[in-house]
């Protein structure tokens, strides 16, 4: 399927999939694009999609970006999910270690230039892994941030050059947690400690009552996205 054919298919299916359930979106995605992968960050939305994928297409690749800076609870969630689903998560790591990064760019690059840090530890590895696929699935929702408000359930990802599926785009946080409870899905325990959005340990803090759910990401800076979705 060439680019023009993909764009025509996306245009045709976007409206139809808008009213589809996440499971229906995933089922159509894996059937239409067998060479597809899911990017898992082990947050609430992503553990939901892992659970759905295991019921719909357990052979679909699931990868995670190992920045080397995740919370220990995130790694523990990964291990618990791998055991429950007998799933081998594909580990995608940066080309340089934290020590090499410090030598080249100085200590605590995430403070002096968070965009550069995200580019090294997230964007470049993501670009590398996605180059092997025709489509990818994400756990983003429209009400998470203004930058995600216009996300469609299927769209062409110009930045990475492949088809992108956002099955939970129309869901609310309540929808996500209802699914977790109803299906007894494992989730990161940091969510129970006022971490609604979980990224790297250096750049994520607890969110206080009344704050925006993503206020804990890159607090004190104007940065709102790591560069994976915008």
Active-site annotation, residues? 226
- Copy the structure tokens of residue 112: 């002096």
Q: E strands within the chain?
A: 36-39, 61-65, 90-92, 135-137, 154-157, 162-165
If phi > 0 it is left, if psi is from -120 to 50 it is alpha, else beta; for residue 65 that is beta
Run of H or E including 49: helix 44-56
Q: Are 65 and 91 in contact (CB under 8 A)?
A: no
Please tell me the distance from the alpha carbon of residue 141 to that of residue 205, in angstroms, as a whole number: 21
**Rounded (5°) CA angle 10-65-201:** 125
Tracing tokens 């947690």 back to the chain, one arrives at: 177
- Copy the structure tokens of residue 119: 């580019």
| Cβ-Cβ contacts under 8 Å for 217 (sequence gap 6 or more) | 197, 199, 203, 204, 223, 224
- Copy the structure tokens of residue 62: 């699931």
Q: Are 208 and 193 in contact (CB under 8 A)?
A: no
């Amino acid at each position: 399927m060439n680019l023009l054919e993909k764009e025509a298919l996306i245009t045709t299916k976007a409206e139809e999939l808008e009213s589809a359930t996440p499971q229906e979106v995933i089922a159509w995605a894996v059937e239409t694009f067998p060479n597809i992968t899911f990017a898992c960050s082990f947050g609430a939305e992503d553990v939901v999609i892992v659970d759905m994928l295991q019921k719909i297409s357990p052979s679909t690749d699931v990868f995670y970006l190992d920045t080397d800076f995740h919370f220990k609870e995130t790694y523990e969630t990964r291990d618990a999910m791998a055991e429950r689903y007998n799933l081998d998560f594909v580990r995608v790591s940066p080309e340089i270690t934290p020590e090499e990064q410090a030598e080249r760019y100085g200590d605590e690059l995430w403070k002096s230039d968070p965009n550069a840090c995200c580019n090294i530890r997230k964007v470049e590895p993501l670009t590398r892994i996605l180059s092997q696929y025709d489509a990818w699935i994400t756990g983003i929702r429209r009400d998470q941030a203004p930058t995600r408000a216009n996300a469609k359930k299927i769209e062409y990802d110009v930045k990475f050059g492949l088809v992108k599926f956002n099955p939970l785009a129309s869901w609310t946080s309540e929808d996500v947690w209802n699914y977790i409870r109803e299906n007894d899905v494992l989730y990161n325990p940091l969510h129970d400690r006022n971490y609604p959005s979980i990224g790297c340990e250096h750049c994520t803090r607890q969110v206080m009552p009344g704050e925006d759910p993503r206020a804990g990401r890159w607090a004190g800076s104007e940065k709102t996205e790591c560069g994976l979705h915008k």
